[in-house]
Structure 1
Amino acid sequence: MSATEYIKYHGLLLPPEAHTTESLEYAQNFCVEDTDVFAITYPKSGTIWMQEILPLVLNGGDLTPIHTIPNWERVPWLEEKQLARVVDKLASPRALVSHFPYSLMPPSFCTSKAKVIYVMRNPKDIMVSSYYFHQMAGFLEDPGTFEEFMDKFLEGKVMFGKWTDHVKSWRNSELGDRIMYITYEEMVQDLPASLRHISDFLGCNLTEEVIQKIAEHCSFKSMQNNNMSNFSLIPKVYMDSDKSPFLRKGIAGDWKNHFSSEQLARFTSVISKELEGEELGVCGSEKVDDVL
């Protein structure tokens, strides 16, 4: 598949297997409720993890949905065509995910009290994960060599455009106490602590016993073995796990096994320049160098 076969939406490239003109129009007209919770990510930043976490936090640790409902139905993407099919089945408070930049969120979102958890990940690890995803996903163009894919990533010629644009749009959203920032790396390092943070933000006040239960069932190994979460239900023509597993490693720092010193220098230089003056820490206190 070539890039020209992607849907181009406000300058962003989107795969037509999941997005249509109708689904994008539906997203713009979607009626966001005050109790809705959105997990917002740039692709390959922990979206599937949040689809596992949010239902369990919101329902007090009931494992039923993650064992009986595919993740794309239990926590659907705002912009994908699946949403219109399942929206009436979603229990309140509804959990949704999106890769949209802030500027493309529907008007009803801006006027609502809906909460957002923005998950940010080291862009080098995002690029590595995306590189392997492009190898196994039949609906995406072939990534070419690692060097070639890095060029596309830095130029924003990948799904949902530049990582830097996405991050800046949400870091400058001015949503106040409606938005919480967390990093993929924090979650990898201490998932129970991250779950407590999420629980407190959403006003769920979960007990320590429930926190530990959720952490156990949201571990990488548990999700890897859960057919409702590991995308094994998707036909091989769309996702070929023989080429690369969808849930590949679930770690932080795998980029160190892929970047040459020259590639690292160029990647860091480009990203740092585009984020010059930005503060990207979870609490707005860390500089770009701390994230990269």
Structure 2
Amino acid sequence: MKLDSGHTVTAVEGEEKAKLKKHFVGYPDGLVRVSPDRWLFPGRYMDLGNDYYNFEFRKDDVLIMTYPKCGTTWTQEIVWTMRNNPDLDNPDAPWAVMDRVPFIEFDLFFPKHPPEGMEIVATNAFQRYCPEGDLRGAFNLQLSRAIPEPRTLKTHLPFSLFLPDLLEKSKVIYVARNPKDMLISYLHHHRLLRNQEFIGTLEEFADHFISDDLVYGPYWLHLKEAWQKRDHPNLHFVFYEDLKADIKGELKKLDAFLGTGLSEDQFANVEKYTSFSEMKARDSLFFNSEVSKNDALYNQEIRTKDGGFFRQGQSGGWKTKLTPEVTKKMDEWIRQKCDFGIKFK
């Protein structure tokens, strides 16, 4: 199938399907490749890829773009708070983060034909902005289109799968992270969530990453596309590690990029409100606590043993998690694939 972007999308079949299905027992609609770049996505991308490519961005939009597990939720909360809640008095602040900052392509992770009894509940934002919306359709895409300006939106898709004029229309914040820490976090994510559910070892997960066999990969190409645009005035490229090391300084840079003009008191509000400890304490507001206790959606053994969505929020944790063999493989991957000028912190 040919997409409007010029890419070709095909279902993963045969030996490749068997290889992936051995370790990834989620993905109810299978997986697809988007060529020639070999992007890997859940099967629903076959139906929704053109909708994402042709998504109509507006001049006041801010799009947060990351590869998974690179500080996305933190950045969503920071940017939304700076733009909408610097005095911490916005009545919508208790809404789930994806109600306030919709995840454009989140529908990829919901079955195309939900099984009988699978109830999808209209969120606060969906009820308000999509009163005639279809919950059995692409409800996150509907919400992304419907929320009022100025919109803050989230995606894990790369630049090449959106229209080429994205940066001429809107502002984009791209967050990059050391791939070794990203790998550890993404592994936990795949073990925790049933709709992705990885059942192999750390070494096997690392091999999938190096072979560009993780959803949203290849990571190196995702990074390269953004890195090559880093000097565009409408792109703010930031490292997760810099946000951790100097949040005050990075908030100042974001303020200048966004044009929010915050006062010192407002900076202090944002810094405290979006700190890891504060966000972890509000965990149930980000991700419904009752949903997270549902074993059909979350692996409760992993949740109990290794934690839920918010765990440590640190940099450099890979040093105690990766084996010397995996570290060596990752170093070689960085040397070979990330030779376009980027240096990880």
What TM-score do you get using the length of structure 1 for normalisation?
Answer: 0.87
Q: Deviations over 1:176-205 (max 9, x none)?
A: 111111111111112222111111111111
* Match in the other structure for 2:159: 102
Distance 1:175 1:93, change over 3 A: farther
Contact 2:104/2:144, CA 8 A, preserved across alignment: no
Q: 1:36 aligns with which of 57, 61, 77?
A: 61
- Residues 256/188 of structure 1: CA separation in 2 closer, same or farther (3 Å cut): same
User: CA deviation digits over 1:41-80, x for unaligned, max 9?
Assistant: 0110011111211111112515436643211221112223
Distance 1:210 1:117 in 2: 21
Give the distance between the partners of 1:180 and 1:241, measured in 2 at CA. 37
2:238 maps to 1:238 = no
**C-alpha separation in 2, matches of 1:103 and 1:65:** 36
In the alignment, the residues of structure 1 paired with residue 47 and residue 99 of structure 2 have an alpha-carbon distance, to the nearest angstrom, of: 18
Q: Which amino acid in the other structure matches residue 177 of structure 1?
A: P
**Identical amino acids, percent of aligned pairs:** 27
Q: Give the secondary-structure state (helix, strand or coil) at the position aligned to 2:238.
A: strand
Secondary structure of the 1:116 match is strand
SS in 2 for 1:119: strand
Aligned pair partner of 2:341 in 262, 279, 286: 279
Structure 2 CA distance for aligned equivalents of residues 124 and 65 of structure 1:
38
Cα distance in 2 for residues equivalent to 1:183 and 1:153 = 20
Alignment counterpart, residue 193 of structure 1, candidates 225, 245, 249: 249
1:249 aligns with 2:305: no
The aligned residue for residue 285 of structure 2 is 228
1:127 aligns with 2:183: yes
Once residues 208 and 196 of structure 1 are traced to their aligned partners in structure 2, the CA distance between those partners, rounded to angstroms, is 10
The worse-fitting range, judged by mean Cα deviation, of 73-82 and 134-143 is: 73-82
Assess, with a 3 A threshold, how the Cα gap between structure 1 residues 105 and 234 changes in structure 2: closer, same or farther.
Answer: farther
Given that 1:39 and 1:118 are in contact with CA atoms closer than 8 Å, whether structure 2 keeps it comes out as: yes
* Structure 1 match to 2:325: 262
Checking the alignment, whether the CA contact within 8 Å between 2:167 and 2:235 is kept in structure 1 is no
Question: Is 1:145 matched up with 2:201?
Answer: yes
1-structure distance, mates of 2:193, 2:67? 17
* 2:147 counterpart letter in structure 1: L
Residues 83, 145 of structure 1: alpha-carbon distance in 2 compared, 3 angstrom cutoff: same
Contact 1:230 1:247 survives alignment (8 Å): no
| Aligned length, in residue pairs | 279
Task: For 1:59-208, list aligned pairs within 5 A.
Answer: 59-63=84-88, 64=90, 67-81=93-107, 82-87=139-144, 89-107=146-164, 109-112=166-169, 114-173=170-229, 176-208=232-264
Paired letter, 2:229: S
Equivalent position of 2:40 in the other structure: 13
Contact 1:70–1:228 (CA under 8 A) maintained in structure 2? yes
Return the TM-score normalized by structure 2: 0.74
Q: Does the 8 Å CA contact 1:35/1:94 hold for their aligned counterparts?
A: yes
SS of 2:60's equivalent in the other structure is coil
CA distance in 2, matches of 1:191, 1:65: 25
5+ unaligned residues in a row in structure 2: which ranges? 1-24, 108-138
Q: Secondary structure at the match of 1:279?
A: coil
Query: 1:101: how far off?
Result: 1.3
Task: Judge conservation of contact 2:32–2:42 (CA < 8 Å) in 1.
Answer: yes
> SS at 1:38's partner residue?
strand
Shift of 1:20: 4.8
Distance 1:225 1:21, change over 3 A: farther
In our comparison, the structure showing a higher alpha carbon Rg is 2
2:272 aligned with 1:216, yes or no? Answer: yes
- Cα distance, 1:143 vs. partner? 4.4
Q: What corresponds to 1:56 in structure 2?
A: 81
Specify every segment of 5 or more residues in structure 1 that has no aligned partner in the other structure, as ranges.
281-287
Q: Is the 8 A contact 2:103 2:155 kept in 1?
A: yes
8 Å contact kept, 1:67–1:228: no
Q: Distance in 2 between matches of 1:208 and 1:242?
A: 44
Aligned CA distance change for structure 1 residues 200 and 43 (closer, same or farther; 3 Å): same
CA RMSD of aligned residues (A): 2.3
